[in-house]
Amino acid sequence: MRRFPWDLLLTLVIGVGIGLAYAWVISPWRVFDSDPVALRADFKDQFRSAIAASYQATGNLPRSQARLSLLGDSDSGAALNSEAQRMIASGEFTQADQLAALALALENENVPGVLPTHTSESSGTVEPETVATLPAPPEELPFELTETPEITEAPIDATQVVETQPVVTNPTLRPTWTPIPTLGVPFSLIAQDTVCDTTFPEGLLQVIVFNSARRQVTGAKIIVSWENGEDQFFTGLKPELGNGYADFVMSPNITYTLRLAAGSDIAEGLIAPTCHTPSGETFLGGIKLTFQQP
C-alpha cells in the first residue's frame, strides 16, 4: 500500500502560506481605481464641501444626491450638518453655509408637501432649443438626466408652470416632474419664552431654529442688533445642546432686535427680564426664542 504523500501536502501548505504572506503583507495589490467611499475622513469632508459648493452654483439636487451617495454615508444630511458645524468652529462660514444649504435641501426634499412643480408639455410658441445635458455618466453614478431645478426664493404659486426641455435625443417634449428646493421660505417666530433659571448665565438669549420637517437647522446665521451695535452668531456651535441651538448674552437694560439672516420674523423689544429666586433675591433672567420654517 502506498503511503499518503504528507511531505508534498506539507510543502504545498507552506507554499500557500508564503504566497499569502507576500500578497497580503509584503506586497499587497497596488491600490488604484478606488471608490470615494474608501477615502479618508478628511478627504471625504473635502469631497462633501466640493459637492455643496457645486450645488450652490448649479442648484442641481439630483446630481448632488448622486455624488453624496458615493461617499457611503448612512445619513447624508447628518454628515453635512456635522461637517458644517466643524466648519463653523474653524471659522469657515462660507463653506458652512454651503453645506448647511445642501443639508436643508435634502431634508426639504424628503418632506411631503415640498412642491413638485408640474412641468407641462410645451406647445405652440415655445421654440425647442438645444439643451445641454449631463455627460454619459460613469457607470456607477445613478445620475438622472434632468435639467437643473430652479431655486425659488419665495413660496411657489400652486398654479405656476415651469417649462422644461427633455433630453436632446427626443424631439417630443413630455411632461416631467421636477422637485424644486424651497430654500427661501422665511422662518416664523413660533415661541418666545422668559427663562428664569439660576443655573443659566444671566441675560442668556437662547435661539432654536427648526426647518419645516421639525429638524434643527445647523449653521443658521442669526443677527442681533441694539441701539449702537450689531452682532452675528450661528446655530450649531454647541451641538451638545442641539444642532439648531445658539445663544447670546444680553446686557442689562439694553433692548435687542433679532432675526435670522436667511429671512424670518423679527423679534423686537428683547430685554433681559428681572427674575426672583424663592428667597426673594433678584437676578437677570433670559429669553428663549424658537423659529421654525412653515
Kindly state the smallest distance separating residue 236's Cβ from another protein, in Å.
22
Residue 16 lies near another protein (rule: CB under 8 A)? yes
> In the sheet where 229-234 sits, what is the strand order?
229-234, 221-226, 256-260, 267-270
Single residue of 4, 28, 214, 269 touching another protein by CB under 8 A: 28
Q: Which is nearer to another protein, 81 or 98 (CB)?
A: 98
- Name residue 25's amino acid: V
Closer to another protein by Cβ: residue 5 or 184: 5
| Stretch touching another protein by CB under 8 A, among 37-45, 156-164, 217-225, 267-275 | 37-45
Query: How many other β-carbons are positioned within 10 Å of the β-carbon of residue 124?
Result: 5
205 is written with which cell numbers? 438669549
Report yes or no: 248 and 231 within 8 Å, Cβ to Cβ: yes
What character string, x for contact with another protein (CB under 8 A) and - otherwise, covers 46-85? xx-xxx-xx-xxx--------x--x---------------
All cell numbers assigned to 158: 400652486
Minimum gap (Å) between residue 18 Cβ and another protein: 5
Q: Write down the residue that cell numbers 463653523 correspond to.
A: 88
Does residue 36 interact with another protein by CB under 8 A?
yes
Q: Which string of x and - marks every residue 93-132 that binds another protein (by CB under 8 A)?
A: ---------------------------------------x
Instruction: Judge contact between 230 and 268, C-beta under 8 A.
Output: no
Amino acid at 59: G
